[in-house]
Copies of this chain bind each other. A is one copy, B any other.
Amino acid sequence: MARRLLLYDSAISGNAYKVRLCAAQLGLSLERVQLDLLKGEALAPEFKARNPFGRVPFLLDDDFALAESNAILCHLARGTPLFPAEPRRQSLVLQWMFFEQNQVEMGLAVARYYMKFRPDHPKAGAIVEQSRPRGIAALKTIEAHLDGGRRFLVGDYTVADIALFAYAHLAEEAGVPLADFPRVRDWIGAVQATPGFVAMEAP
């Protein structure tokens, strides 16, 4: 029987977009269920019963359930050049992906979410003020890394580039001008030029 990949998805989520981009570049077909995060559908009891993390993306690979965008990228790309098997290179790919969840996502994604989708939230200003500097510092780290003449983060294009591209290319929506990060802009262009690239849909 054909492998069935079912993605619980959201148009506003950069984390969910990572999975669509990776699947497209691997030639994998995804069935998609759209959740409206702004209406709290990821926390609704019928979804939480399937996915105790209560967030998207969430993948069903036949009967195998997996949460966390970057774990899903590794899962889909394992055995392909996008997730290198060579130990040191794989460790560096993971290094950038953990950095992404701790610093980029908790910086740029959080600031973007409150600026773009929750501007009337009573704490929006304070949350943006705390998260945006983390995102700017993360972009500086990426900029310095790319300054050595690298085209991608770890040798050839990998899931690390997909993971960090998702919110880096949305930095302006978090109030961070990419004009200050020329190497990051070049790298964003390089990701957009990879075979099979698909853009994030406008929510």
Taking CB as reference atom, which chain B residue is nearest A53? Answer: B141
A127 and B129 CA atoms in complex are apart in Å by 11
Answer yes or no: A25 CB below 8 A from chain B CBs.
no
Determine how many copies of this chain the complex contains. 2
List chain B residues, Cβ under 8 A from A78: 87, 90-91
Interface locus among A3-11, A60-68, A194-202: A60-68
**Contact of A68 with B52 at beta-carbon distance under 8 Å, contacts A87-B78, A102-B106, A130-B127 already known:** no
* In contact, B87 and A75 (Cβ under 8 angstroms): yes
Within 8 A of B (CB), among A83-105: 87-88, 90-92, 94-95, 97-99, 101-102, 105
- Contact partner of A75 (CB less than 8 A), chosen from B69, B91, B145, is B91
* In contact, A71 and B53 (Cβ under 8 angstroms): no
A: residues with CB less than 8 A from B are: 52-54, 64, 66-72, 74-75, 78, 87-88, 90-92, 94-95, 97-99, 101-102, 105-106, 123, 126-127, 130, 141, 144-145
